[in-house]
């Protein structure tokens, strides 16, 4: 007989051996880019709060006001009693910002993907996915019961080859990609994938968790395409650039109405707290009206890459691949000692032997902050 604790301990020891055991560390984000960990004050270059809106006075004020007016919790799922009037403001704001007919807000981005994908794919259907898609897109695809095939990262020709070979055997087909890849910072070939979807009678889904607020004048990677392409399912999160929490789907009214009825992670999960919704409304409003801030994170990343002779970035996410898990954790520790929080990213989040430092740049990073980061990296012989 094996007790559950013995089982857990054995699994943990095996992770430890491979340098892959993770642990939570208390992180006090007390200002735009400032963090405190183990009493050490640092500048964070690893938050996804690209516009620093989680600390914006108007966003904070909106959250306070909503809490005073509506309380701290929504009290139920949205189809029962949790649909506060704030949802209507947020969803119409999102649809207008993204240029779609309608939008639906979920509890998180993860819940959006695992809820939406099974609404449009089942056991008779085919899902064709970029191999580096986010974990929750894979989770949603598996839940759907559809056949799932992956193509080489960013390679529309490889996607086409799969469509040619397998499309005819399936009833419906979904092509799924991150818009802006979270661990690599590059943008998917959305125009080419959209053409393929059209040509092969497939539906394209783009996960733009990192694209909102950072590319396409803040409207995202689909909106960055010229000319604009129609993407049937555009999802994203309110937890990154919007500085709040929650996920969303932007799509046609018919699609949104079906998802409202059928997505299990929507129907059977409680509505978001009013403060979170109000913060997201304020954040989207800032993106739409002070659009110039949406260009700053990418400009900061470009300054960093230019000074280091790295390829010109497509987004505010810059990976520096260092190899194995131990090396990246040592590098991350060295940066902490020099006053910079840059988490090491290890498998299984990224493929074997591509452990990396993942830098993210935000509006409030100064040129001086970036110069000091570069000095630290040179000092540690990482660049």
Ligand X SMILES: *Cc1c(COP(=O)(O)O)cnc(C)c1O
Report the catalytic residues.
Answer: 182, 210, 240
Quick check: 33 binds ligand X (CB under 6 A)? no
Binding mask 244-273 for ligand X (x = CB under 6 A): ---x--------------------------
Q: DSSP class of residue 77?
A: B
Contact 98, 234 (CB under 8 A): yes
User: Whose Cβ is closer to ligand X: residue 170's or residue 215's?
Assistant: 215
343 near ligand X, judged by CB under 6 A? no
* Alpha helical stretches, state H, 124-226: 135-144, 156-166, 190-199
- Whats the size of the chain, residue-wise? 383
Nearest distance from C-beta of residue 378 to ligand X, angstroms: 30
Assigned token pair, 90: 């947020």
Among 52, 84, 108, 241, binds ligand X (CB under 6 A): 108
Among 177, 194, 237, 360, binds ligand X (CB under 6 A): 237
Segment 122 to 151, residues that bind ligand X, using CB under 6 A = 134, 136
Judged by CB under 6 A, does residue 210 bind ligand X? yes
Give the total of residues touching ligand X (CB under 6 A): 13
Q: Which of 48, 53, 46 is nearest to 32 (CA)?
A: 53
Smaller CB separation from ligand X, 108 or 144: 108
110 or 203: whose CB is closer to ligand X? 110
Interaction pattern, residues 173-192, with ligand X; x per rule: CB under 6 A: -----x---x----------
Cβ(364)–Cβ(32) below 8 Å = yes
Alpha-carbon span 250 to 235, nearest angstrom: 6
Using CA atoms, how far apart are residues 239 and 277, in angstroms rounded to an integer?
11
Q: Which is nearer to ligand X, 84 or 108 (CB)?
A: 108
Among 145-153, 205-213, 272-280, 365-373, which window interacts with ligand X (CB under 6 A)? 205-213
Identity of the residue, 232 or 249, whose beta carbon is nearer to ligand X in the bound complex: 249
DSSP string computed for 259-317: HHHH-HHHHTSBPPPHHHHHHHHHHHHHHHHSGGGGGHHHHHHHHHHHHHTPPPPSSSE
Between helix 325-337 and helix 367-379 the angle, nearest 10°, is 120
Task: Name the one range near ligand X by CB under 6 A: 102-110, 269-277, 334-342, 372-380.
Answer: 102-110
SS3 label, residue 60? helix
Choose between 109 and 344: whose C-beta lies nearer to ligand X.
109
Which residue of this chain has its Cβ atom nearest to ligand X in the complex?
109
Residue 358 in contact with ligand X, rule: CB under 6 A: no
φ/ψ region of 201 (left if φ > 0, alpha if ψ in -120 to 50, else beta) reads: left
What is the binding site for ligand X (CB under 6 A)? Answer: 108-110, 134, 136, 178, 182, 207, 209-210, 237, 239, 247
């Amino acid at each position: 007989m094996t007790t559950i604790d013995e089982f857990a301990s054995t699994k943990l020891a095996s992770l430890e051996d491979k340098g892959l055991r993770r642990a939570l560390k208390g992180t006090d984000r007390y200002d735009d880019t400032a963090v405190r960990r183990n009493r050490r004050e640092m500048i964070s270059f690893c938050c996804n709060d690209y516009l620093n809106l989680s600390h914006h006075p108007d966003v904070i004020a909106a959250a306070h006001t909503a809490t005073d007016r509506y309380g701290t919790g929504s009290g139920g799922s949205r189809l029962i009693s949790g649909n506060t009037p704030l949802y209507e403001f947020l969803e119409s704001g999102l649809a207008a910002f993204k240029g779609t007919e309608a939008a639906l807000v979920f509890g998180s981005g993860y819940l959006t993907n695992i809820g939406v994908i099974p609404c449009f794919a089942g056991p008779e259907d085919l899902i064709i996915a970029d191999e580096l898609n986010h974990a929750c897109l894979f989770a949603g695809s598996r839940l759907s019961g559809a056949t799932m095939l992956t193509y080489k990262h960013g390679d529309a020709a490889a996607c086409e080859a799969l469509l040619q070979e397998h499309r005819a055997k399936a009833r419906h087909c979904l092509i799924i990609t991150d818009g802006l890849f979270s661990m690599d910072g590059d943008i998917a070939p959305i125009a080419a994938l959209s053409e393929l979807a059209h040509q092969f009678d497939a539906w394209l889904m783009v996960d733009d968790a990192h694209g909102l607020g950072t590319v396409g004048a803040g409207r995202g990677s689909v909106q960055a395409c010229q000319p604009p392409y129609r993407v049937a399912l555009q999802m994203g999160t309110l937890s990154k650039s919007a500085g709040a929490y929650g996920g969303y789907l932007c799509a046609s009214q018919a699609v949104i109405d079906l998802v409202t009825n059928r997505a299990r992670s929507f129907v059977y999960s409680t509505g978001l707290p009013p403060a979170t919704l109000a913060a997201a409304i304020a954040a989207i409003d800032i993106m739409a009206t002070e659009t110039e801030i949406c260009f700053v994170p990418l400009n900061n990343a470009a300054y960093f890459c230019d000074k280091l002779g790295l390829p010109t970035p497509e987004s505010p996410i810059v990976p520096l691949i260092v190899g194995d898990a131990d090396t990246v954790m040592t590098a991350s520790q060295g940066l902490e000692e020099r006053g910079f929080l840059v988490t090491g990213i290890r498998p299984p989040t990224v493929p074997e032997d591509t452990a990396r430092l993942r830098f993210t740049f935000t509006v409030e990073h100064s040129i001086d902050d970036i110069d000091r980061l570069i000095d630290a990296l040179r000092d540690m012989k990482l660049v």
